[in-house]
Amino acid sequence: MQSLDSPIGPATPTSRGDAWRMFKIMAETIDGFEVLSALPGSISIFGSARANPGTQIYKDTETIARLLAEEGYGIITGGGPGLMEAGNKGAVEGGGPSVGLHIHLPHEQQMNRFVTTPLAFRYFFIRKLMFVKYACAYVVMPGGMGTIDELSEAFVLMQTQRIDPFPIVLYGSEFWQGFLDWVRKVMARDGYIRESELELVTVKDTPEEVLEHIRLRVGRPAS
């Protein structure tokens, strides 16, 4: 089994080090709970770290975060570059909390400058817990496998009724339609998922549509 301390670390036998590692896990969990429990109702925004400022998807992410922050929601991102940066930038522009859940990686990526509430994590699973525990909705922008991972995590937790349902908004039908078609035409056809379970997600194409959907499904954010 690989070390939890490093995604590329060598396999090591179970040892006393595992017991001490639990204290690190507990410390990260407690830090996250203490900081994030003070937030108003918040939206977790996910998307590619590789999107450049000035692109339309960067601008749309910034606008979505700004509109949501102006509505009173906190904004939580992964704290990195690309669409995470756009989300934090929009949060600052909208006068709301701008949270970055930074993850330590072998090729270090810096926290973006628009994060006003930073938290750093060594363990992916604790970071993912914070995203879902303190979100009243997810907005999932175009991205890569990390974005798909975060989407899948929340979807499965709701699918299996481990958490109460909340809105998952996929942004950009052009990007997401092929994925959803595959789920319907392959996974649902073969009985691996019920097509009705796809009602857990919705697709929107403008920042204003995202805001309106969250308004209708969530209501005013809790302060």
**223 residues of the chain, pLDDT tens digit each:** 344 454 444 555 556 678 888 999 999 999 999 999 999 999 999 999 999 999 999 999 999 999 999 999 999 999 999 999 999 999 999 999 999 999 987 765 789 999 999 999 999 999 999 999 999 999 999 999 999 999 999 999 999 999 999 999 999 999 999 999 999 999 999 999 999 999 999 999 999 999 999 999 998 776 5
How many whole angstroms separate alpha carbon 204 and alpha carbon 172?
Answer: 6
Residue with the two structure tokens 């959907």: 213
What phi, psi does 120 have (nearest 5°)?
-115, 140
pLDDT of 185: 95
Are residues 190 and 213 in contact, defined by beta-carbon separation less than 8 angstroms? no
Identify the structural domains of the chain with CATH numbers, from first to last: 16-218 (3.40.50.450)
Tell me what pLDDT residue 7 has.
Answer: 47
Q: Are strands 168-171 and 74-77 parallel, antiparallel or unpaired?
A: unpaired
15, with CB counted inside 10 A (0-12, 13-18, 19+), is exposed
Decide if 85 contacts 55 (C-beta within 8 A).
no
